Structure 1
Amino acid sequence: MPVNKLHAKGFTLIELIVGIVALSGALLILTGVLIPQAEKSTNPWFQVRSAELAQSIMNEINARRFDENSPTSGELARCDESGGNACIADLPACLGTGPYAWVEETSRDLYDDIDDFHCLNVTGDKITNIENGSLQDIYRDFSVEVFVTYAGADLGLANKRAKKILVSVTPPKGSTISYSSYRTNY
């Protein structure tokens, strides 16, 4: 029976297969471009969160006195000045990990000078604010390490007149970002 051209509407099987192949190729290219961009779009967010966390830790550290032997009762002589106590000896290398790898104090609540933060290494639920409140919801899967060294020579001072505070923050995705500041014995 002859087919009327007006009634033969639609696509042939070959046209459908070519269309499916073309569509799948276009989707493959589209997802190959968009998915890596979506992952990269979180990097600035992690960098901002990292900077906020590091600044918070720096503020907490700089709110403490310079040295364990720094005067607290209004004395005029600072440690390592004539008439003052000697500053503590060089800080030891960090021997272990954990929140209290090397400290004079047994709890972060008792930290009273910059040196107490040396070797601080905290992650996840151990990241707290200055009032010891958990920041786990905000900084889940972040980790923080703090190192303190004498660094007066970096600033043209006697070596024990300044300390360098290095805060390294590792976000969940990405590499470690380090922040540093100097604190002088004032």
Structure 2
Amino acid sequence: MSMTRSRHQGFTLIELIIFIVVVSVGLVGILQVMDVTVKSSADPMVRKQGMALADSILEEILLKSYDDPDGTNVGETGRVDWDNVADFNGKTNADFAPLPPALASYAIGITVVDDAVTLGIAAKRVTVTISRGAEVIGMTGYRTNY
């Protein structure tokens, strides 16, 4: 009768170390993906708020007269006095103050350019740019003299 060695059961130390290394690498990869996802999860909200703000300002501007209805810019010091599209040219956050607290961190920039050459008719191109951090949203519209 020959003596046979019984098979050992369990893991060797080398196998255990390899298992720990493989699981650790997998966990690090998963955690890095989650970190990127969590960091950018607020971006859609920032973008939507910026788009809504740009859209509302652009709409307000395009609803104004093409030319100054009273024929003068004298005394037009505030937003309620701006009665034509050109009055909005160069306006920024300071001109729209106070913004609601949720929108105070957005930077507003407005340009109004006479753009009759592009369209072939009397038109002003209005560009509203809203930015916050690295996110920049621009909306453009045209106001014609109808």
| 2:129 paired with 1:164 | no
Unaligned runs of 5+ in 2: 1-10
Quote the residue 1:98 is aligned against: none
Alpha-carbon displacement from aligned partner over 1:6-27 (angstroms, at most 9, x marks no partner): xxxxx99888766654544333
Aligned-partner SS, 2:30: helix
Aligned counterpart, 1:3 = none
**Higher Cα Rg, which structure:** 2
State the identity %: 30
Aligned to 1:115: 86
Distance 2:139 2:75 in 1: 24
1:184 aligns with 2:144: yes
Q: Which residue of 1 aligns with 2:7?
A: none
Alpha-carbon displacement from aligned partner over 1:48-106 (angstroms, at most 9, x marks no partner): 222111110012112221122x46xxxxxxxxxxxxx7xx9xxxxxxxxxxxxxx9722
Q: Secondary structure at the match of 2:135?
A: coil
Aligned equivalent of 1:57: 57
Q: Is the 8 A contact 1:127 1:135 kept in 2?
A: no
Structure number with higher helix proportion? 2
Alignment deviations for residues 137-185 of structure 1 (CA, whole Å, 9 cap, x no partner): 2x2421110000101111112xxx210000011134x332211000001
Residue 45 of structure 2 corresponds to which residue in structure 1?
A: 45
Give the Cα separation in 2 of the matches to 1:107 and 1:20: 67
Q: Which residue of 2 aligns with 1:148?
A: 112
**TM-score, length basis structure 2:** 0.73
Q: Calculate the aligned-residue CA RMSD, in Å.
A: 3.2
Whose strand proportion is higher, 1 or 2?
2
Equivalenced residues, count: 137
- Asked if the contact 1:104–1:116 (Cα under 8 Å) also holds between the matched residues in 2, the reply is no
- Matched ranges for 1:1-186 at <5 A: 21-68=21-68, 70=69, 105-122=76-93, 127=96, 134-137=99-102, 139-157=103-121, 161-172=122-133, 174-186=134-146
Find the aligned partners of 1:114 and 1:50 in 2 and give their Cα distance.
21
Q: Residue type of the partner of 1:122?
A: N
